[in-house]
Structure 1
Amino acid sequence: MGDLVYRLLLFLNSSKNEDINYTIATTMLHNINHISDMNINKLADICYTSPAAISRFCRKIGYSSLSEFKKSALINKNLYSVGTMQAKGMHLNISRENILNNMSSEIDKEILDLKNSLDLKIVDLVIDLIFSTPNVSIFGTQFSQLMAQELQRKLVMVGKLISHAIDVQEQEKLAESLKENSLAILISPTGRFTLYHEKLWNNIKNSKATVVIITEDKNLEGINIEYKKRSNYIIYLPNKEEPSVYIDSHRYALTYLIEYIYVRYGSLYMN
């Protein structure tokens, strides 16, 4: 189903013309916490367009129907408005110096936890697959998408071109093209990719490609049991014993991991 804010911003940032779809996307972002409660006529009214245009726009950004679009809007509202995805530290009455110090401590701990838990043998196996597989594709959304793009950029500098697509729909097409001699790398730190991007995950899962997944090490069935069933290799990010107060979980561990993969690849295959 995907994150609605991510899809709307992606559409907005890639739009070349400020047409009616641009207006719809902008209006929805301004009203992001309310659109799950609106019917199609109300959505059309606030966007100064027709119900038919709203339906077309929903399909344009990857939703099969208005119903699926509104379910995504409700998930977004529950995650962000309730505070699940907000930094809890912004609600604490502490000094700016303490905010900075506490953030630094959380970042340091996240990086250290990855350093102490990372299975370097598995990472080397994955790096060897990246080197030896002719068709490598990497998948992810939101921050994971940025990290996928960053790894793509860095690997080019050490002689390896891998495939990636920014838009979720284009990633779905990329996953459909996976063959037996392909390698698919999925970045899913929280393990919820299968819930938010079911079609994309099914395309990866049903392919004959070798599958590598980067995700949190959880022993919860239903969170990453799908990954364990389908993946050939899993690179685990460390579990979060306590939720972060100031930083997004896994952001710095994932950045550290991507940098390590790049440097290790270069040390093995450039020298």
Structure 2
Amino acid sequence: MELMISRILKYLNGCLDDDHMYRIGNFIIKNYTLIENHTMVSFIDAAKCSQEELLDFCQHFGIHSFDEFKERLLADHQGRLEQIHARMLNTDINDFLEHVNTDYSKEEFIQWIDELCELIFNKQRIVILGALYPSSVAVDFQTDLISLGKEVVEYHHFDLNFEFSDDDVVFFITATGRMMERNVKKLKPQNICDAYLVLVTQNLAYRDYENVCADYFAHVLGKFDGLQFNYQIMMIFDILRIRYYQKYYQ
């Protein structure tokens, strides 16, 4: 059975409106490891929603009470932690590195990954920004890091209250750079320059586009091949979550 948190993430990543479903889902992502401390009353108060909205959210995922929903989240959380631990025991990132196609050497790439892991560990929130399919391959990365206590969200342009800060790590994923070109004017007033920006692209021209400078940069080699780019994104996020766990939780 699919994890409830993964189902919530897939719903949030495809959201089109800033409604109660979006807000409650984001509250759960932000407070995932603290949900066990909430009663229905305290959850409603903290999430700033009504009882009707909370129950509607639960029912959208096939559950008809808050207590049942909380029990499912807690059971899934424990199960995922055990799954992560078992999976990581005999995992060697060298098995993955041979499939990565960037302009870094193997040693440079590992150093880049380690620097990002340290940044993720020390910062409060990770934001994924990109087109729907490239960002959707990051759901396992989101699920693992949320299970380990990090807030990992996807940016949505309709969320007018969204603001970046210096406690954010932003993964900007764009093969051609068009995604940055279309969104940079909206992102500047939301303080994206305050965040630590990790740009992953095939187009070197966008490294310092409109003075939005990437703090960390990965040039994925290739000629704007969407299939190959998406595969590389999946590999990078897989290596990140493996290395992160091995550095800080083993």
Structure 2-normalised TM-score? Answer: 0.51
Residues 126/116 of structure 1: CA separation in 2 closer, same or farther (3 Å cut) = closer
What are the superposed Cα offsets for residues 137-158 of structure 1, whole Å, 9 maximum, x if unpaired? 222221122134432112123x
Q: Deviations over 1:15-73 (max 9, x none)?
A: x9xxxxxxxxxxxxxxxxxxxxxxxxxxxxxxxxxxxxxxxxxxxxxxxxxxxxxxxxx
Q: Which residue in 1 is equivalent to 2:233?
A: 254
- Confirm or deny that 1:233 pairs with 2:216: yes
Distance in structure 1 (CA, Å) of the matches to 2:219 and 2:198? 11
Number of equivalent positions:
158
Which letter does structure 1 place at the counterpart of 2:188? N
Q: CA deviation at 1:114?
A: 4.4
CA distance in 2, matches of 1:180, 1:124: 19
Within 2, Cα distance between the matches of 1:190 and 1:128? 28
Q: Is the 8 A contact 1:194 1:201 kept in 2?
A: no
The counterpart of 2:201, out of the listed 209, 215, 236, is 215
**Deviation string for 1:68-89 (max 9, x for gaps)?**
xxxxxxxxxxxxxxxxxxxxxx
5+ unaligned residues in a row in structure 2: which ranges? Answer: 1-13, 22-97
Are 1:169 and 2:158 matched, yes or no? Answer: yes
1:128 and 2:118 matched: yes
**Deviation digits for residues 96-120 of structure 1, max 9, x if unmatched?**
xxxxxxxxxxxxxx93534975622
**Pairs within 5 Å for 1:150-169:** 150-157=140-147, 159-165=148-154, 167-169=156-158
In structure 2, what residue type is equivalent to 1:188?
T
Pair 1:198-2:187 in alignment: no
Distance in 1, matches of 2:176 and 2:138, equals: 16
**Does the 8 Å contact 2:127/2:169 carry over to 1?**
yes
Percent of pairs with identical residues: 16
The structural deviation recorded for 1:200 is 4.2
Q: Which runs of 5+ in 1 are unaligned?
A: 1-8, 17-109
- Asked if residue 140 in structure 1 is aligned to residue 119 in structure 2, the reply is no
Secondary structure of the corresponding residue to residue 168 of structure 1: coil
Q: Say whether 1:263 aligns with 2:242.
A: yes
- Largest Rg, 1 or 2: 1
Provide TM-score, normalisation by structure 1: 0.48
Deviation at 1:264, TM superposition (A): 0.7
